[in-house]
Amino acid sequence: LLTHAECHVPLDTIETLRRVAKLYGIFMLPSTGKLELDYLHRLHTVQVVDEQALRLKDARAKRALDIVEDAARESLVPPAPSGAAGTTQVGGGPR
């Protein structure tokens, strides 16, 4: 899932997807400075890209590579048990 911070997906849709796929969300931090979505805790991993990471070309490139490397690393990890709850916050989140 790669989207802006206003992607509203019904929780039952997230639950259905979670049963068949590992959910890795990448979100642009909204101008309010808070990422508030009902389903965030149901994603396996959440990456947040903030304004600071977008400001400079080198910072953008580094953040993008960090996300790609993390996603590749996570794809090698066995999937979480279907009843597992929680979200892994991985770098670059809100400051």
Output the six-digit token pair for 89: 């916050």
In-domain check, residue 8: yes
Q: What is the pLDDT of residue 12?
A: 95
> Which residue range forms the structural domain that includes residue 79?
2-89
In-domain check, residue 94: no
Structural domains in the chain (count): 1
Phi, psi of 76, deg, nearest 5 = -90, -15
Mean pLDDT (the chain) is 80
* Confidence band of 75 (pLDDT split at 50, 70, 90): confident
Q: What is the pLDDT of residue 16?
A: 95
Q: What is the pLDDT of residue 85?
A: 52
pTM of the model: 0.67
In-domain check, residue 95: no
In-domain check, residue 76: yes
Q: What is the pLDDT of residue 1?
A: 56
